[in-house]
Amino acid sequence: MFFKRKKRNTEIGFDEVIPDLLNLSSFNVHQMEGRLEKPIGKRSVFIIGSIFGIIVAVFLVRLFMLQVVNGEEYAAQSTNNMLRQSLIVAERGIVYDRNGELLAWNELDHTGQYDFPIRAYTDRRGLGQLIGYVSYPQKDSAGFYYRTEYLGRTGVEKSFHDFLQGENGVRLVELTAHGEVLSESATNRPRSGGELTLSLDAELSEHMFDLIATSTIQQGFRSGAGAIMDVETGEIIAMTSFPSYDPEILSDGDDVEAIEALNTDERYPFLNKVTGGAYIPGSIVKPFVAYAALAEGIISPYKEIYSDGAFEVPNPYNPDKPTIFRDWRAHGWTDARTAIAYSANVYFYTIGGGVEGEQEGLGITRINKYMHLFGIGEKTGIALEGEASGNVPSPEWKMDVFDDDWRLGDTYLTSIGQFGFQATPIQMLRAYAAIANGGTLVTPQVVLGARGEEERIDIDEEALQIVREGMRQTVVQDGGTARPLEREDVAIAAKSGTAEVGVANEFVNSWIAGYFPYEEPKYAFILFMEHGPRANTLSAGRIMSWVFDWMGEHRTEYFVSS
């Protein structure tokens, strides 16, 4: 069946041809008035309708995908985009010295590199190893923290990290769809770390450092260190190690050249030589050998031994070639006190190893016993990382290291602090503090007001008093090896030491140790100069005398017993 198409009326009426002449002048031609309107074609309507239909369909499909298929995922993303959690890094605790001087604190980073406080440190020299440094929190390339805390790397920053660290907080940040911040609010406020006051006198420590540094350069030593400790509480009031470093350089990590120079420095500037360096002690062990011989009844305080500058030991295999052990000079007749004062090697060879048929010796077993009794060759327990143990020679040690038997000559050398003897300055400091306080080993402390654990030695009071008197004579008697320490404002007891080091003994370690005031001891001290030329004319005792000169002007309170 066919349908006849209706014919379109295309005729135009007369009234459409001839417009109303009266209205012609009022037509607005710009608004298309006076023109005939033509109807829109069905084809155009269809095309436009199809386009709109496609748009609507795409919109509906997309809406379905967003709300139905992926609705939960995009809802979560939408929430996260609008409310984001941000870490608030807690401020690290401030560190002070005993006089309230700032040693480590926090500052704003004005460079914009970090959005948390940066660590700042004192400019005083010689404190780097004691204070230590930190590593900062770190972000990945997307800006998210993969390390959210400071890390204490060395020194006090590491040892007291938990106390200084604090607790991080959380901040909620409201963002627009374009990432613009609308508002911020802390939902969990950070808690700053605790404030720490050290027992250290920073200015005194810096002055000690400067004297060691200057003397090292002038006399050709490799390095040096020093410390002063309260003999009753164990509080460290001075500690320094040369060379040192600036903690800010290591915390910031930007000065690559400076860090590389520190890493390649053969003098080991990162090592706290007071606690972590073990060195041949030489004659500063003699007071402990003397005490052992007196306490064991090996020798009386008044028995004299003659030194003509050498100690000869017969050679049973070749009588014409005896073994000669040298003294550093001929001392003549010496008893226990003068042997300490003059540092007479022959006296200590004799009481240490003995002379067959003439004088009983302690022997290496008893020497070991008394060295360890005073904590020599053992860690002190100070709250600083990297403390070394040192070593007191023994037959077992020699067999283990050299695969060789112990000989009498080894005992003689051990008696004067040579051979395989190694001790840290902090060990010797604590040992001398035990002489000063009457026989108590106190654990060294770096926090003001702290009191170290005490280990009481079963002391022989008479023997100990002889040793004390010998150490006082070392300072005040003509020929004493610590004469530079004699003063009018404070009485000092001391013992010097010169240890031979190097393949041909061409270098020396120079030591001075002791305590003050003599009658009512309050502080023990140690100063050490490492690996200097044998011919140098500057001893550790002379350097320590300059430290006392400064204290006599600026720290007279340390010269008075409380």
Q: Is 43 helix (H, G, I), strand (E, B) or coil?
A: helix
Please name which of 310, 318, 242 lies closest in space to residue 274, comparing C-alpha atoms.
242
The pLDDT of residue 31 is 55
| pLDDT at 9 exceeding the cut of 60 | no
* Residues 243, 244, 246, 252, CA torsion sign: positive
DSSP 389-415: --B---HHHHHHHHS----HHHHHHHH
**More confident site: 36 or 475:** 475
Please, which residues bridge with residue 391 across strands?
422
| pLDDT at 442 exceeding the cut of 70 | yes
Query: What's the mean pLDDT in 315-337?
Result: 89
Please name which of 442, 445, 352, 388 lies closest in space to residue 160, comparing C-alpha atoms.
445
86 phi, psi to nearest 5 deg = -130, 135
pLDDT in tens, 428-441: 999 999 999 999 99
Confidence at 382, pLDDT banded by 50, 70, 90: very high
C-alpha–C-alpha distance, residues 471 and 480, integer Å: 9
- Architecture, CATH, for domain 85-197: Alpha-Beta Complex (3.90)
Confidence at 29, pLDDT banded by 50, 70, 90: low
pLDDT in tens, 32-49: 555 555 666 777 777 877
The pLDDT of residue 266 is 92
Domain definitions of the chain by residue range: 85-197, 202-559
Query: What's the mean pLDDT in 493-499?
Result: 96
352 phi, psi to nearest 5 deg = -80, -55
| pLDDT at 232 exceeding the cut of 60 | yes
Please name which of 249, 236, 168, 230 lies closest in space to residue 197, comparing C-alpha atoms.
236
Q: Where are the beta strands (DSSP E) in 259-377?
A: 305-307, 310-313, 323-326, 332-334
| Residue 545: its H or E element | helix 540-554
pLDDT in tens, 273-282: 999 999 999 9
Distances (CA, A) of 61 to 47, 58, 71, 218: 21, 5, 13, 86
| Residue 514: its H or E element | strand 507-516
Tell me whether domains 85-197 and 202-559 share a fold.
no
Confidence at 531, pLDDT banded by 50, 70, 90: very high
Please name which of 278, 246, 230, 297 lies closest in space to residue 433, comparing C-alpha atoms.
230
Please, which residues bridge with residue 147 across strands?
138
| pLDDT at 180 exceeding the cut of 80 | no
| pLDDT at 319 exceeding the cut of 70 | yes
CB 552 within 8 A of CB 559: yes
The pLDDT of residue 5 is 47
Confidence at 535, pLDDT banded by 50, 70, 90: confident
CB neighbour burial string for 106-134, b if at least 16 within 10 angstroms, e if fewer: beeeeeeeeebbbbbbbebbbbbbbbbbb
Query: What's the mean pLDDT in 296-307?
Result: 96
| pLDDT at 3 exceeding the cut of 50 | no
- Ranking 7-11, 162-166, 360-364 by mean pLDDT, the lowest is 7-11
Q: Cis omega before residue 243 (within 30°)? A: yes
* pTM of the complete model: 0.83
Confidence at 25, pLDDT banded by 50, 70, 90: low
The pLDDT of residue 2 is 43
Give the fold, CATH level 3, of 202-559: Beta-lactamase (3.40.710)
Q: Is 298 helix (H, G, I), strand (E, B) or coil?
A: coil
Average pLDDT, the chain: 89
| pLDDT at 4 exceeding the cut of 90 | no
DSSP 517-535: SSSS--EEEEEEEEEEETT
